[in-house]
A and B are shown apart, each in its own frame.
Chain A
C-alpha cells in the first residue's frame, strides 16, 4: 500500500509582509495505484504542490505523508519521484542517457545489476537499450521524455509526480508519452499525481481530477463527474474554454 496524502499543505515564499502564498491549505489524496489529475492555470500553484511532494519547495504548513509517514527528502532512497515538464532541460547534456538513468538506481546496487536494470528500464519505455550510450541531444523530445520517465522509475518509486510532462512536446509525439504513462501505470500499478493544464490530456490518464485555483483546490472528484457535471464555476469556465473537437 502506498498512499500519498497532502494534509493541509501550505507553501509560502518570502517573508510575512511581502511574501506570496503559492499553495494555501491543500488537502489531497493520491490513493494506491490510482492516477489523480491536477488541473489549473499557470500560477495556480499546481507545480509548487508537485515540488513540495518531492522536497523541492519549502513546506510552511501541513505535511506531505506517504503511508502516514512524512516523505523523506534527504539524499538516499526517495519513494516519491518526479518527471519534469521540459525534457530538453531535465537531462544533463553531458551525461549519456544510460548514466542519467543509472544515477537514479538505488545506491548499493552492484554494477552489473545496475547496468542490467538500466537496459531493462529503457526497454520498458520503448527505447532501444543499445542507445544507452547516446547523449540527450541525439534524441527527439518524445524520446527524451521517455528517458526521464525511465529515470523516475529507476528509483523504484511508490508514487510518481508528473508535472506537465507533455506540454513541451509536439502533439504528434504527445500521444506516445501519454500511451506510455497509461501502459506503465497499468503494468506497474504505480500511484501517480498527473499535473496538466490540458483537460483533454488529464481526462485521458486520470481517474480522479482535482481543480486548483489561486493556491486552493476548488473541486475534486471522479473524472466523469468533474468533467461531466462540474460543481464549481471555475471548472465550468475551464471546460468552456477548451477548443472544440476537430472530428
Chain B
C-alpha cells in the first residue's frame, strides 16, 4: 500500500533538474561534513607539493629516524626527511592514482555494461555472462592478479585496480540500463526509428547517470584503499616515488620505536577514504530521498476554518461521523493541505460514494479515516467517531482492534495488499486469530467460509493457494473476504475495480452490493468513475481540491447544483454519447494543493465564476433535505438558468495551455 504524499505528486524520477536534490545533499550535516572533507583532500592534493615539496625532499643526515619533535611533527625517515611533509605531499600521488584507476574502472565498466544494449540479444547475452563470471572473483584477488600480470609499479597498479573494479561497475551499469531500456520512453524512441547508439546516449545514460556518479565516488574511496594496499605490499608505487601505502610500509619497520611514522600515513588513508565514501553515501541518500523535507507548521486555532453547516443526511445512528477532517503534509514551501476541513457521516448500511479527479483528496480522506496516514502526514479533526468511539484519542492498540474487526479496507491493487509468500487462507485467518482470539483451525474454517461468501469457487482448495495463483478479480474477492473475517460495520473501498476488467468489475460491484444488503454493512466507495458510484451508492460526495463541494443523492447526480458536479458527470462518455459532437471536457487543470487560491478552488475552471467566487470560498451549506453544496451560484445552477453557459464551457476546445 502506498500513501499519497504531496512530495510524490511529482514523481521523483520525473523531476527535470537534479540540481535541487544535489543541493539538498549539502543541507544535511553528514553531507556538508563529507563535502568539506573531500574538498580539503582534493585541495591538499594540488597544493601540498608547493607548500611542503622542498621540506619533503630535504635530506638531513643528522636527524635520521627521529620520533616526533617540535621540528618534525611526526618524525623523520631513514634519510632524515620530514615525515609530516612527506605525508602531505603524498596526498597528490595517492589521490591522482586512485582517481585514474577509478576513471579506468568507470570507462571499462560502462563500455562493458552498455554493450548488451548495443550488440543485440545474442552477443549481449554473451557479454552479460562474461561480466557475471568476472563478478564472481573477489575484487582484491583480481587486483593482485592483474598487478602481477601488468608488472610491479605505479602504472601496473593503476591498470590492475582499474581493471579489477570494472566487472562490478559493468554489472551495475547493465542492470540500471536494462531497467531504463524497458521503459516506455525508450520503446517510443525505438518506434520513432532512433538507432541503438543514440538511444543509449540520449535516453539511457542521462537517466542512469546519477547512481553511476555516486557509485564512482564511493569506488574512488575503495580504489584509494586498494592502492595503499598494493603499495604497502610493494606491488604499487616504487621508490623514489611515494604514496601513503609506501610511507606506511616504510614506517612499519620502526613501529615499536616511533609509531607515528606509520600512523600518520595510515590516518591520511582513513580520512581520505572516508571523505570519498561519506560523500558518495550522502549523495546516494539525498537522491534516494522520496519525500519533501520541511516542517508541518502548527495550525493556529481557527486560522483557516471553513464555515461549515450541517453534516449531511444520516439515516439513524451514524457508523462513521467525521467533522472538519484535515490532512497536512510538510512541503518544500510550507505545509500542504490536500484534505481541508471535510465533514460527512455514513449511516448504518448506507453506501456513500466519493468522486473527484486525481489529487482531489478522496483517497487520502479514506486513509485518514482508517488512520493509515503515515508520518510526516498529520490528521486533524473536530470529530472522528467510528461506531461511537472517538478515534482521535485512546491508544493505537485499541483502535487497531476496533478497526481490525469492525472495519474493512479494500485497495485498488490487491496484489500489493496480499503477502505473496503466504497462503490465502492463512492470511485471512491471521487477523481473526489476533483480533477475535480464534484458534488456528477455527480461523481457517472461517476463512474458507468467508471465501465462499465472496463467491470464490472451491474455497477449501483455493484457501491453500498463494496470491499469484489467483486472478485479479479473485484476489480482489479474497481482499473483500479478508475484510469480512470480522463483522464489519463499514467497508472502505478505494478504487476497488479500477485495475479490473469490465466484466470482473461488474461481478465485484455486484458482490459489494450483495454483502451490503445481506449484512447491513455500510460502504464508503472511492472512485474516479462516476458511472460506478452512481450505480452502487445511495449518496455521493463530490470532492474538489481537498474539500467536499457537493453532497447529493446518487440518482440526482445529473442534476447537481455545483458546476463541477455537472461538468464531471458530463465528461463521462457512455454508450449513448453523440458521435457527431466533441466530448465535453473540463478546461484547465486541478489546483496544486500547495497553491490554493483564496476563493473557490474551482473558480479558475468555472464558467460561472464571479469576483465573489475568486475572493471568498463558499461554505458547504445544507438545504432542507440535507443535500449540501458549496457554491455561490448553486441556486442558478439548480434552476437551470445557466445550462447554456455550462454546456458551452464543456464544449470549448481545450485551451492552449
Contact = CB atoms under 8 A, between A and B. Distances in A.
Contact of A42 (B358, B501, B568): B501
Given A93-B13, A94-B16, A183-B582, 10 more contacts: A75-B196, A94-B206, A170-B357, A173-B585, A175-B571, A200-B577, A204-B583, A244-B574, A246-B531, A246-B558
A8 interface: no
Contacts of B655: 126
A202 B472 CA distance: 24
B206 A75 contact: no
Among all A-B residue pairs, the 9 with the closest Cβ atoms:
A135-B16, A175-B583, A243-B531, A104-B192, A41-B501, A75-B195, A90-B184, A241-B506, A175-B585
A160 to B, nearest CB: 11
Nearest to B196: A75
Contacts of A12: none
A218 interface: no
Interface of B: 10-11, 13-17, 183-185, 187-196, 202-203, 206-207, 357-358, 472, 501-506, 528-532, 534-535, 557-558, 567-569, 571-577, 579, 582-586, 589, 653-657
A197 interface: yes
A203 B188 CA distance: 26
Nearest to B579: A204
Contacts of B657: 127-128, 131, 140, 143
Nearest to A199: B575
A137 B192 contact: no
Contacts of B532: 243
Contacts of B10: 137
Given A92-B207, A246-B572, A170 B358 contact: yes
A56 B192 contact: no
B206 A241 contact: no
B143 to A, nearest CB: 35
27 contacts: A75-B196, A76-B193, A77-B193, A84-B184, A88-B14, A93-B185, A95-B202, A103-B194, A103-B202, A126-B654, A127-B657, A131-B657, A135-B17, A137-B14, A155-B192, A170-B357, A174-B573, A175-B582, A176-B585, A176-B654, A197-B501, A198-B573, A200-B575, A200-B577, A203-B575, A244-B534, A247-B569
B545 to A, nearest CB: 13
Contacts of A240: 506
A246 B16 CA distance: 40
Interface in A87-122: 88-95, 100, 103-104, 106-107
B191, B357, B573: most-surrounded residue (chain A CB, <10 A)? B191
A183 B581 CA distance: 11
Given A54-B191, A84-B187, A246 B534 contact: yes
A172 B585 contact: yes
B528 A171 contact: yes
Contacts of A63: none
Nearest to B584: A175
A95 B198 CA distance: 14
A148 B191 CA distance: 12
Interface centre among A81, A171, A176 (most CB of B within 10 A): A171
A94 B196 CA distance: 18
Nearest to A144: B14
Contacts of B506: 240-241
A60 B412 CA distance: 35
A227 to B, nearest CB: 7
Contacts of A76: 193
B202 A55 contact: no
A88 B653 CA distance: 23
Contact of B190 (A42, A56, A143): A56
Contacts of A77: 193
B192 A78 contact: yes
Contacts of B195: 75
B654 A89 contact: no
A186 B241 CA distance: 77
Contact of A88 (B11, B189, B191, B531): B11
A65 interface: no
A219 interface: no
B579 to A, nearest CB: 6
A142 interface: yes
A18 to B, nearest CB: 16
Contacts of B531: 243-246
B193 A75 contact: yes
A229 interface: no
A238 B11 contact: no
Residue of A94, A138, A171, A172 ringed by the most chain B CB atoms within 10 A: A172
A11 interface: no
A117 B276 CA distance: 47
Nearest to A76: B193
A246 B202 CA distance: 47
Contacts of B14: 88, 93, 135-137
A7 interface: no
A41 B503 contact: yes
A242 interface: yes
A49 B583 CA distance: 28
Contacts of A227: 575
A86 interface: yes
Contacts of A137: 10-11, 14-16
B653 to A, nearest CB: 7
Contacts of A93: 13-16, 185, 207
B565 to A, nearest CB: 11
A153 B182 CA distance: 22
A245 B589 CA distance: 25
Given A81-B192, A89-B184, A94-B207, A172 B574 contact: no
B30 to A, nearest CB: 27
Given A197-B502, A243-B529, A246-B531, A103 B192 contact: yes
A86 B571 contact: no
Contacts of B189: 92, 103-104
Contacts of B584: 175
Contacts of B13: 93
